[in-house]
Structure 1
Amino acid sequence: MQEHHPETPGKISDAPMNGREIEARIAEAKEALGSRVLILCHHYQPDIIARFADHMGDSLHLSRLAASRKEARYIVFCGVYFMAETADILSAPEQEVYMPDPGAGCPMADMARLDQVERCWRELTERVGETILPITYVNSSAEIKQFCGRHKGVVCTSGNAAKVMDWAFEQAPRVLFLPDQNLGRNTALAKGIPKEEIALWDRRKAELQGDPDRARVILWDGFCPVHVRFTPEQVIGLRTQHPGIRIIVHPECTETVVRLADGSGSTEYLIREVREAESGSVFAVGTELRLVKRLASTLPDRTVYPLDEEHSICIDMSRSTPERLLVVLEGLLQGQAPGRIQVSAETAEWSRVALERMLAIS
């Protein structure tokens, strides 16, 4: 697991407060801070947090907002750790980034440690030389983004992975795709790359499954614990129950689920598909439950089912609570807020290189 070194969230007070009082104090603190604070909220955050957001979006969209809003001295990122790191990397030096709970990590990002990736890279380059280039999904640690920056590589998102892979193949005949094997595999297959030219690096055994000489895409074996829970049986079952339903899923889902779905794409794609559909349309959406329920409640003239209602909550996204948000905001007013996220200068420099390569492609 990555070592996030989270700070312990501060206390509000010893006296218990009810939810309304906490929300009122959040609103007061936010008003007192004014334009000095920017609250960013990922789509997977709880509704009670989302209502205080200045902007909602996917991780990279929010980080780019952080970089463009120079008037905000403080950026409070309600999401998970790698998102706040990216915001810190892209924001101005005088801006400070905070999280309600810095212990909110990402299991997928934690599946690619720098020492593991460096060993993989040594072994691959000993075999294939400089014919390989690394791509890391934005859902990765700053250390892995730094690694890609140093090795002529690039960052991608679920929305631009195909474009980034095209760019990478213009630079080298092979790519190492980190850390999500499913996004990498689904992107490669959609581009027409045969399965026999896709290999998998087993991070635990530190060995390649596949032929390195033949492989054009080498996948790291990470995955999102939420998105891999969606199954072909769920897709088939919903089609049986609701003839004519349109099923759309996130590309972090398995290859089989993506193949059986009617479409796949980023959170922004999923939102756009439902929003732009005709009134009366029926959807099932395979992604984090809170986003699916928000679509259903905000677009009542469409029917939106979760592909799986039981197992599709991201626990780490639940760690942003009103109490912890209040501690940060009132701490900012007092000049002693917990939860600051700071990426070291060297890591930030090379991470920014990899991110800027992606931004130039997009």
Structure 2
Amino acid sequence: MAATNIALVPNPHNPSVDSEIAAILAGAAPGETCGTDLGDAPWQVDTRPGYGPGASVGDVIPTGAPRQGELPREYRDADADEIERRIHAARDQLGDRVVILGHFYQRHEVVAHADYVGDSFQLAKAATAHPDAEAIVFCGVHFMAETADLLSRPEQAVILPNLAAGCSMADMATIDDVEDAWEQLEDVLGDLDTPDADGLLPVIPVTYMNSSAAIKGFVGRHGGIVCTSSNARTVLEWAFARGRRVLFFPDQHLGRNTAKAMGVPLSQMPLWNPRRPLGGNDDDAIADSRVILWHGFCSVHRRFTVDQIQKARAEHPGVQVIVHPECAMEVVDAADQAGSTDYIRTAIAATTEPTTFAIGTEINLVQRLAAEHPQHEIFCLDPVVCPCSTMYRIHPGYLAWVLESLLAGQLPNRITVDDAVAAPARQALERMLLAVPTPVTGSAA
């Protein structure tokens, strides 16, 4: 592993999860990680199949998932100070020719160089704010870079620093499986693209932003829409105004939590397992359904439990528990509030009195919030340090390599969406952009 100058004693004012993991693995700090290989450099992980260490390490990666080529040795051997100097130097020379986007879940050492930091939806919008930039370097995961390519100008190059930064949730709904499900639903419900006497379609497909461009294209072709964790309720209202039921993918938990908050009974939310005929349901269950939930999930948010909430309440009287709606229904029900990553940030920022917060979302964001709001006590519900496996594949070394390649006139790791997919996918995204939620507080969506 390359040398590093990060101190092995965590600094409470430094949101670096990297330094905390290094300290725990070196025995210099108390705590537990979800794997000793979190200490491996990403270029070591890139030589191994799978999503990599972290929350998704046990998930099955699809055959043919993108793999990253070997990072040149000069970047692998450089220490953190040299990498940082090279990033700054390249940025200075590139100027406005490049814009760097960093997701909330990225490691601190990466987002420190980002022009914009946000969730996938916010960053997709940020990608459109610089039409004159030659390149958009997206420090996130594959589906986010695809979305940026869909929304940016054709001449702009969208670059993902590490091609292996995928998303296990997005991979749980493949285009082949979704098209097969659509055919099986037609066998039960009839032609899904023909409205009934009331002008309603039998099914409206709704896909979470955390899905491939191919899935977004499918949704666009069939009159559906993309949703985010912040506008999921508004999107479901849009869909119910146009169809009898919704096929929601890939995250079952966001779909269930949102529909439940809207009054849809659990008995009308069958789970669709793509590995079983009719998703594991019978004809009557499909006919009576209101929301058909795809059997997908986020491995980060699956780690949060009701037991963790009960422990936090016992040890911190008066604690405010806020979780992401990708958590299981029982966890969302037990929390004080649930909402998107931006909702969590806003709720903490709006709290004026010193408060203890237990947060159920990815550790990099939690650590950053704790550093930004020292007047509060903020900690992650999960005591085990376990970052998003695929976000963790982005490292400053890859960022330095990409920026210096741009200076040399190269376009490494460019992400493009085929025109046949892009047109309907943009249509689904444009519908999403028009689905602006009414501001609320304490929402589970």
TM-score range, shorter chain: over 0.9
**1:38, 1:270 → 2: CA distance?**
26
1:139-158 correspondence to structure 2 within 5 Å:
139-158=210-229
2:140 to 68, 72, 79: 79
**2:399, 2:358 → 1: CA distance?**
32
Q: What SS class does the counterpart of residue 165 from structure 1 fall into? A: helix
Matched residue, 2:150: 89
Matched residue, 2:253: 182
Residue 221 of structure 1 aligns to which amino acid in structure 2?
A: H
Deviations 1:292-348 (Å, cap 9, x if unpaired)? 011001100011010003154101111111111011000001012321111111111
Q: What SS class does the counterpart of residue 218 from structure 1 fall into? A: strand
Pairing 1:111–2:169 present: no
**1:336, 1:54 → 2: CA distance?**
21
1:126-205 correspondence to structure 2 within 5 Å:
126-129=187-190, 130=192, 131-205=202-276
Residue 227 of structure 1 aligns to which amino acid in structure 2?
A: H
Greater strand content:
1
**What is the number of residues matched between the two proteins?**
362
1:10 is displaced (CA, Å) by 4.0
Residues 44 and 290 in structure 1, CA contact (< 8 A), matched pair in contact too: yes
**1:97, 1:228 → 2: CA distance?**
30
**TM-score where L is the length of structure 1:** 0.97
Unaligned runs of 5+ in 2: 1-61, 193-201, 437-445
Residue 197 of structure 1 aligns to which amino acid in structure 2?
A: Q
1:262 to 336, 351, 360: 336
Task: Work out the percentage of aligned pairs sharing the same amino acid.
Answer: 47
1:68 is displaced (CA, Å) by 2.3
**TM-score where L is the length of structure 2:** 0.79
Unaligned runs of 5+ in 1: none
1:53 to 114, 129, 138: 114
**2:76, 2:107 → 1: CA distance?**
25
Residue 91 of structure 1 aligns to which amino acid in structure 2?
A: S
1:206 is displaced (CA, Å) by 3.9
Higher radius of gyration, 1 or 2: 2
Pairing 1:276–2:350 present: yes
Deviations 1:174-195 (Å, cap 9, x if unpaired)? 0000100000000010001011
Residue 291 of structure 2 aligns to which amino acid in structure 1?
A: V
Matched residue, 1:68: 129
Pairing 1:308–2:379 present: no
**1:32, 1:160 → 2: CA distance?**
39
1:262-341 correspondence to structure 2 within 5 Å:
262-310=336-384, 312-341=386-415
Q: Per the alignment, do residues 59 and 2 of structure 1 end up closer, same or farther by CA in structure 2, a change over 3 Å counting?
A: farther
**1:223, 1:139 → 2: CA distance?**
10
Deviations 1:149-192 (Å, cap 9, x if unpaired)? 11111000000000000000000010000100000000010001
Deviations 1:29-60 (Å, cap 9, x if unpaired)? 01100001000000000000011000000001
RMSD over aligned Cα atoms: 1.4
Pairing 1:244–2:315 present: no
Matched residue, 2:442: none
2:105 to 44, 55, 59: 44
Residues 75 and 401 in structure 2, CA contact (< 8 A), matched pair in contact too: no
